[in-house]
Amino acid sequence: MLDLSPDEWTAILLSLRVSTVAVACSLPFALIIAWLLARRRFAGIVVLEGLVYLPLTLPPVVTGYMLLLLFGRAGWLGAFLNAHFGIVFAFRWTGAALAAAVMGFPLMVRSIRLALEGVDRRLEEAAATLGAAPPLVFASVTLPLIGPGIIAGAILAFARSMGEFGATITFVSNIPGETQTLATAIYTFTQVPGGDAAALRLVAVSVVLSLAALILSEQLDRRGWRRVLGR
């Protein structure tokens, strides 16, 4: 068993906290955006799609710098949130959660969108002909059918959040106990003499958590689709 130091445990627990908050807060928005991309055709849909998937193609450092410009204390959104609600993202763990949410958001949207596109629309139409209102059709028919996609997307976004580095360190720096996540802690240990052992321990933890998340995502996805298909 790995003998982790208090600083290493702090980084691991902070990463788990950041990733959980990132997924929980971004999931409702991912569901709405995925539904728009899968079910609606409107002017600007290409632009919306491009903005959603942009973090996948941009260097993470660029994403982090854009977050700093928008949500920093001097940024127009950051200044507004700080002045009116007392919410601060820059150089706080909440900023790390925001950066992780932005980086994992495209994976979640894509998974949910693919699940929505695979739903047999005749099932929804049948529920509607029986008198069910659109919100009830979505809650009772669509949502259970896309459940596997939602779960898979959430787990993939969680795994992506656990490994986030570039956007995080650019936006919230690398403050021990506040913004130093698993990835940034590994970077720190590789830069100090005698830190190789700690870095290797955290690398092992990172690999185990990532593999567990991927395996769980695959298993839940398969079981979910078997349940939906009645197999």
Average pLDDT, the chain: 88
Read off the pLDDT band of 182 (50, 70, 90).
very high
For the segment 129-152, the average pLDDT, to the nearest whole number, is 86
What's residue 184's pLDDT? 94
What's residue 1's pLDDT? 52
What's residue 180's pLDDT? 93
Q: By percentage, how much of the chain surpasses pLDDT 90? A: 52
How many other CB atoms sit within 10 Å of the CB of residue 93? 19
- Work out the burial of residue 195: count CB atoms within 10 Å of its CB; fewer than 13 is exposed, 13-18 middle, 19 or more buried: middle
Q: By percentage, how much of the chain surpasses pLDDT 70? A: 94
Q: Name which residue leads in pLDDT, 160 or 218.
A: 160
* Closest by CA position to 112, among listed 136, 76, 148, 70: 148
For the segment 100-117, the average pLDDT, to the nearest whole number, is 92
Model-level pTM greater than 0.75? yes
How many other CB atoms sit within 10 Å of the CB of residue 15? 27
Among 14-18, 21-25, 66-70, 217-221, the range scoring the smallest mean pLDDT is 217-221
Q: Which whole-number Å values give the CA distances from 221 to 103, 111, 150, 178, 224, in the listed order? A: 22, 11, 9, 34, 5
Read off the pLDDT band of 96 (50, 70, 90).
very high
Distance CA 72, CA 64 (A): 11
The structure tokens listed for 212 are 């567990």
Report whether 128 contacts 134 (CB < 8 A).
yes
The structure tokens listed for 156 are 């993939």
Instruction: Report pLDDT digits (tens) over 15-64.
Output: 999 999 999 999 999 999 999 999 888 888 889 999 999 999 999 999 99
Write out the H or E segment, with its range, that includes residue 168: helix 166-172
Q: Name which residue leads in pLDDT, 64 or 147.
A: 64
Read off the pLDDT band of 183 (50, 70, 90).
very high
The answer, yes or no, to whether residue 118 has pLDDT greater than 90, is no
> For 26-41+59-229, CATH number?
1.10.3720.10
Read off the pLDDT band of 192 (50, 70, 90).
confident
For the segment 2-15, the average pLDDT, to the nearest whole number, is 88
For the segment 160-179, the average pLDDT, to the nearest whole number, is 92
The structural domains of the chain, with segments of one domain joined by +, span 26-41+59-229
